[in-house]
């Protein structure tokens, strides 16, 4: 099962909004004869990939085989056929499932179908670790909103930007806090989430790219939080990103192809529900600015915090948000802090999440 979980991780940048799933097929003689993972949304599921990887000479071993699957095989047809139907047709001796699928279209149905077919089914292997691996997927299923990660960088004395307000003018460009050594991890954090959100003020002043450049991975979809209609049609973000989602008040005009109507008075919970319902965003990285980050913190509309801290003090400027009290470390002994060059990072969970 741990091998299957490691295989599932290969889909971390491409499977969303589907879950990460891995599958390992083992012969009666305890030899792996097939393995696979869900590579991309809309593509073959892990069970199909594992089955198709089996060498022709090993197909005769399937009737006595054991399948290890990190998530309950689906029992419904969507973009692909039901995986439970494939396993039912093959009828292996045993299927070991890491976690039951919380999707109402699946929950328990895949396991029951296999049991009715005479396959021995076991469930609950490494369930805690697998819950963390698919935290976004399970959160989506239960809450109907994206998993939200807040990310910022601050100086050793607690500032996000060392410039006085008079110098934080439109088009002034970003103010670097961390060194180049932090960039690959920062871009990996971006690639893990389906969307990346920034407030209108930050878009106007810093003109950020909000893409992935330091690693081989797709860039997240940009969400521009602009409820007061501050961003004009000629802004770089709108011109360069046709898939950008412009979150804007109902009374303001926009040239963006994809829009989400929202007023600040409605609260962030409403915004997150709309982004999920309209665009099926499984996760969202909030990159700033400070006002937006503080609003998410105050309203409790977040799941993780990822914070960089530079060893350099800048004396004054824009204060960084305060890390909330009671945050939790990552589960199962995963690193919740570390370093990249001279910069240090922390990764903490909202107190509502207790994966152990």
The Cα 125–Cα 311 span in angstroms is: 42
Is pLDDT above 70 for 356? no
In this structure, of 24-28, 32-36, 104-108, 345-349, the range with the lowest mean pLDDT score is: 104-108
* pLDDT (tens digit per residue) in 253-312: 788 889 999 999 999 999 999 999 999 999 999 998 999 999 999 999 999 999 999 999
Q: Is residue 170 predicted with pLDDT exceeding 70?
A: no
pLDDT for the residue 64: 97
Q: 155 and 16 in one domain?
A: no
pLDDT in tens, 182-233: 999 999 999 999 999 999 999 998 888 999 998 999 999 999 999 999 998 8
70 belongs to a structural domain:
yes
Pair 150, 66 in one domain? no
- pLDDT for 165 equals 60
Q: What is the mean pLDDT of the chain?
A: 93
Does 143 participate in catalysis according to the annotation? no
- Domains contained in the chain, number: 2
Q: How confident is the model at residue 169 (pLDDT cuts 50, 70, 90)?
A: low
Label residue 108 left, alpha or beta by phi (over 0 means left) and psi (-120 to 50 means alpha).
left
| 336 pLDDT tier (thresholds 50, 70, 90) | very high
Show the beta-strand stretches assigned E in the chain.
22-26, 32-37, 66-71, 94-99, 120-123, 147-154, 159-161, 195-199, 221-226, 245-248, 258-261, 283-288, 304-309, 318-319, 337-340, 343-349
Query: Does residue 21 have a pLDDT over 80?
Result: yes
**Do residues 191 and 261 both lie within one domain?**
yes
User: 174 falls in which pLDDT band (50, 70, 90)?
Assistant: low
Place of tokens 């070991």: 96
- Residue 141 falls within a domain, yes or no? no
pLDDT of residue 176: 84
pLDDT value of position 164: 61
Query: Do residues 129 and 154 both lie within one domain?
Result: no
Give me the catalytic one of 9, 47, 77, 266.
Answer: 47
Residues 252 and 325 in one domain: yes
Mean pLDDT over residues 1-28, rounded?
97
Same domain, 225 and 264: yes
CATH number at residue 153: 3.40.430.10
Q: What does the pLDDT read at residue 139?
A: 95
Query: Is residue 128 domain-shared with residue 70, that is, in the same domain?
Result: yes
Q: Does residue 176 share a domain with residue 131? A: no
Burial class (CB in 10 A: 0-12, 13-18, 19+), 71: buried
pTM over 0.75: yes
Q: Is residue 118 part of a domain?
A: yes
Q: What average pLDDT score do residues 319-331 get? A: 95
- Judge whether residue 39 has pLDDT over 70: yes
Rounded to an integer, the average pLDDT of 87-114 is 89
Closest CA relative to residue 51, chosen from 71, 30, 65, 72: 65
Claim to verify: residue 330 and residue 195 sit in the same structural domain:
yes
Q: What is the pLDDT of residue 325?
A: 92
Whether 346 and 152 have beta carbons less than 8 Å apart is answered as no
Boundary residue ending a domain (83, 108, 136): 136
Residue 328, beta-bridge partner list: 349
- pLDDT(95) > 60: yes
Boundaries of domain holding 98: 2-136
CA distances from 182 to 158, 177, 188, 309, 342 (A): 18, 10, 10, 10, 9
Q: What is the pLDDT of residue 81?
A: 81
Same domain, 206 and 82: no
Q: Where are the alpha helices (DSSP H) in 252-289?
A: 268-279
pLDDT score, position 256: 83
Task: Tell me the pLDDT tens digit for each residue of 50-94.
Answer: 999 999 999 999 999 999 999 999 887 776 788 999 999 999 999
Interval 118-142: pLDDT, tens: 999 999 999 999 999 999 999 999 9
């Amino acid at each position: 099962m741990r091998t299957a979980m490691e295989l599932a991780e290969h889909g971390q940048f491409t499977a969303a909004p589907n879950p990460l799933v891995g599958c390992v097929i083992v012969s009666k003689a305890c030899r792996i004869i097939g393995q696979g993972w869900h590579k991309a949304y809309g593509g073959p599921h892990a069970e199909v990939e594992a089955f198709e990887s089996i060498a022709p000479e090993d197909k005769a071993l399937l009737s006595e085989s054991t399948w290890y699957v990190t998530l309950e095989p689906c029992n419904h047809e969507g973009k692909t056929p039901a995986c439970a139907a494939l396993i039912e047709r093959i009828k292996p001796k045993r299927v070991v499932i890491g976690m039951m699928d919380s999707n109402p279209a699946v929950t328990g149905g895949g396991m029951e179908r296999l049991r009715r077919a005479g396959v021995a089914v076991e469930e609950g292997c490494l369930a805690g670790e697998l819950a963390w691996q698919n935290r976004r997927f399970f959160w989506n299923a239960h809450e109907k909103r994206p998993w939200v990660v807040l990310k910022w960088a601050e100086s050793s004395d607690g500032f996000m930007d060392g410039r006085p307000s008079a110098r934080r003018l439109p088009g002034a460009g970003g103010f670097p806090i961390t060194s180049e050594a932090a960039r690959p991890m920062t871009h990996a954090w971006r690639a893990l989430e389906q969307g990346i959100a920034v407030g209108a003020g930050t878009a106007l002043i810093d003109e950020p790219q909000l893409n992935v450049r330091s690693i081989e991975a797709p860039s997240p979809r940009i969400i521009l939080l602009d409820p007061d209609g501050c961003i004009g049609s000629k802004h770089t973000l709108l011109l360069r990103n046709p898939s950008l989602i412009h979150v804007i008040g109902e009374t303001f005009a926009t040239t963006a192809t994809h829009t989400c109507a929202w007023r600040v008075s409605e609260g962030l919970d409403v915004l997150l529900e709309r982004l999920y319902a309209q665009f099926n965003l499984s996760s969202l990285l909030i990159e700033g600015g400070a006002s937006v980050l503080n609003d998410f913190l105050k309203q409790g509309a977040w799941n993780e915090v990822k914070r960089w801290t530079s060893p350099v003090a800048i004396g004054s400027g824009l204060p960084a948000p305060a890390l909330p009290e009671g945050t939790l470390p990552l589960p199962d002994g995963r690193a919740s802090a570390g370093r990249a060059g001279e910069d240090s990072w922390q990764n903490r969970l909202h107190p509502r999440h207790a994966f152990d």
